[in-house]
Amino acid sequence: MTYPGYQHDLDYLEQFKDDGDENVQLIEPLLAFRLSRAYRRSDVLRAHLRIESAGRPRSEQERLYAGYKAGKPGFNLAANPDRIIGTRGGKTFRGSWHMAQGDAPDGVGYVYAVDLTHHWKLDWDDVHDLLRANGLHQTVPKEPWHHQATTIRGPFPGPFPDGLSGFQITTTEDELTPELEEKLEGLATWVFNGTTMILKRLDELEQQVAATKGDD
């Protein structure tokens, strides 16, 4: 599930680590390719966008979850490492997209998400435009820093490296992105609310007609 130049892209991303302890070497191939491509194509991203969080082994996810459940100081919301995210291509994804999934040759596995930061030097809308152009999307509604190249449904539309082997490409250009899904959900809510109001009004009119006939 790698491609020629994968390790080179991982090494290239090392320079964009925020604190220096972010484990970019666990980033899955498609995410590594698209993120490194985004950096190479944008002076703005290279100057100001940094990788705040990348990968963590299962043992670290277990530690974070235990600390969160115990209410220990300094521990924030963390996913249960045994939580099932979903299944794709016969593989079950667990815990967090930041947790190594045990699917890499090293036995530790790839991670499928990165958290990015610009330390208030950029506007997230501008960042999202640059990243979406490279097939990277915000996948958590209230976390503009969280980005992925693929989800449980498969890869997002975007560039693919030449020679990427063993990668199940299940998307087309017509597949929904998170932004389109959010818009469709809003449209569905609008249609539902509108239909409810119409039915309520029809019921009121029916009652008025019945009352009028009763007066006759």
Asked if residue 167 and residue 184 are part of one domain, the reply reads: no
- 97 and 111 in contact (C-beta within 8 Å)? yes
* The two structure tokens encoding residue 184: 């469709």
Q: State yes or no: pLDDT of 66 exceeds 90.
A: yes
Asked if residue 183 and residue 142 are part of one domain, the reply reads: no
* The two structure tokens encoding residue 71: 């209410």
- Domain span at residue 203 reads 176-216
- 185 within a domain of the structure (yes/no): yes
User: Average pLDDT for residues 58-72, to the nearest whole number?
Assistant: 92
* Radius of gyration for the chain, computed over Cα atoms and rounded to the nearest angstrom: 23
The kind and range of the H/E element at 33 are: helix 29-41
Minimum mean pLDDT range among 19-28, 80-89, 192-201: 192-201
Secondary structure (3-state) at 172: coil
DSSP secondary-structure letter at 67? H
- Cβ-based burial of 215 (10 A; exposed 0-12, middle 13-18, buried ≥19): exposed
Asked if residue 38 and residue 130 are part of one domain, the reply reads: yes
- CATH number of the structural domain spanning residue 59: 3.30.1380.10
Asked if residue 203 and residue 98 are part of one domain, the reply reads: no
The kind and range of the H/E element at 77 are: none
Q: What is the pLDDT of residue 183?
A: 52
Q: State yes or no: pLDDT of 159 exceeds 60.
A: yes
Asked if residue 188 and residue 114 are part of one domain, the reply reads: no
- 1 within a domain of the structure (yes/no): no
Q: State yes or no: pLDDT of 175 exceeds 60.
A: no
Q: State yes or no: pLDDT of 166 exceeds 60.
A: no
- 210 within a domain of the structure (yes/no): yes
**pLDDT band per the 50, 70, 90 thresholds, residue 18:** very high
By residue count, the chain amounts to 216
From CA 8, how far away is CA 164, in angstroms rounded?
Answer: 14
Asked if residue 20 and residue 117 are part of one domain, the reply reads: yes
User: Average pLDDT for residues 91-99, to the nearest whole number?
Assistant: 92
Q: State yes or no: pLDDT of 182 exceeds 70.
A: no
- 139 within a domain of the structure (yes/no): yes
Asked if residue 204 and residue 116 are part of one domain, the reply reads: no
The model's pTM: 0.74
Strands annotated E in the chain: 50-53, 84-88, 91-94, 114-117, 137-138, 146-148, 150-151, 154-155
- 44 within a domain of the structure (yes/no): yes
Q: Number of folded domains in the chain?
A: 2
Neighbours of 4 (CB within 10 A): 11
Whole-number mean pLDDT of the chain? 84
Asked if residue 59 and residue 140 are part of one domain, the reply reads: yes
Looking only at the bridges linking them, the beta strands covering 50-53 and 146-148 are unpaired
Asked if residue 56 and residue 141 are part of one domain, the reply reads: yes
Asked if residue 128 and residue 73 are part of one domain, the reply reads: yes
- 80 within a domain of the structure (yes/no): yes
DSSP secondary-structure letter at 84? E
- 86 within a domain of the structure (yes/no): yes
Asked if residue 83 and residue 56 are part of one domain, the reply reads: yes
User: Average pLDDT for residues 97-123, to the nearest whole number?
Assistant: 88
Q: State yes or no: pLDDT of 185 exceeds 60.
A: no
Neighbours of 65 (CB within 10 A): 21
**pLDDT band per the 50, 70, 90 thresholds, residue 96:** very high
Asked if residue 185 and residue 116 are part of one domain, the reply reads: no
